[in-house]
Amino acid sequence: MSGLSGRIEDGRHCFPLRVYYEDTDSGGIVYYANYLKFAERARTEMLRLVGINQTEMAQRHDAVFAVRDCAIDYRRPARLDDVLEVRSRLVEIGAATLSAEQAIHRGDDEIARLDVRIACLRRDGRPIRIPASVRSALSPYCETT
C-alpha cells in the first residue's frame, strides 16, 4: 500500500516528507517542536491508510485521540530541503490507549526517536474505550493487543 498517506511495510508505517523553509530556524535547522508535527502527521496518515477516519470516529463514537505523553530523543539535526521518513509502529493497544514508537530517518540515519502514548477520549475530554471497529482495524499492525 502506498500513496499520499505513505505505505505499510513489514508492519511499519512509512511516511515521507520534505523539510521546508517554514520548518526551520534562522540557521536552516528544523525547529525542535516540528519533529512532533512530523510524527503527528505520520500517525494521522497511518490511521487513514488502515481505514480509520478520525472525523467519522468522533461523530459516530464520540471518540478522539490525544497524545497523553511523549518522549523524544533528538539524535541529529534535520535541515532545509532534507527528505525525511517517519517510521511508525504500534507496540500496544490497551483498553483506552495506544502506544507507538516512531523514528524519523534521513536515509539510513535515525535523527529522532519518539515514544508516544495516545489516549482515546470523548470529545468532552473524559477517557473512553477504543471503539471495537478502530481496535479491529489497528490490531493487525500492532505487536501486542
Any domain includes 1: no
Beta bridge partners of 71: 115
pLDDT in tens, 9-23: 998 999 999 999 999
Percent of the chain with pLDDT over 70: 98
pLDDT band, residue 3 (cuts 50/70/90): confident
Contact 15, 6 (CB under 8 A): yes
Q: Please check whether residue 20 lies inside any domain of the structure.
A: yes
Residues designated catalytic: 25
Q: Is residue 2 part of a domain?
A: no
DSSP code for 140: G
70-107, pLDDT tens digit by residue? 999 999 999 999 999 999 999 999 999 999 999 999 99
Count of C-beta atoms within a 10 Å radius of residue 33: 9
Domain enclosing residue 90, as ranges: 7-141
What band does 2 get if pLDDT is binned at 50, 70 and 90? low
Please report whether residue 47 resides in a domain: yes
The total number of structural domains in the chain stands at: 1
C-alpha cell at 4: 499520499
pLDDT tier, 34 (very low <50, low <70, confident <90, very high otherwise): very high
Residue 1 has a pLDDT of 42
CATH code (residue 74): 3.10.129.10
Percent of residues, the chain, with pLDDT higher than 90: 92
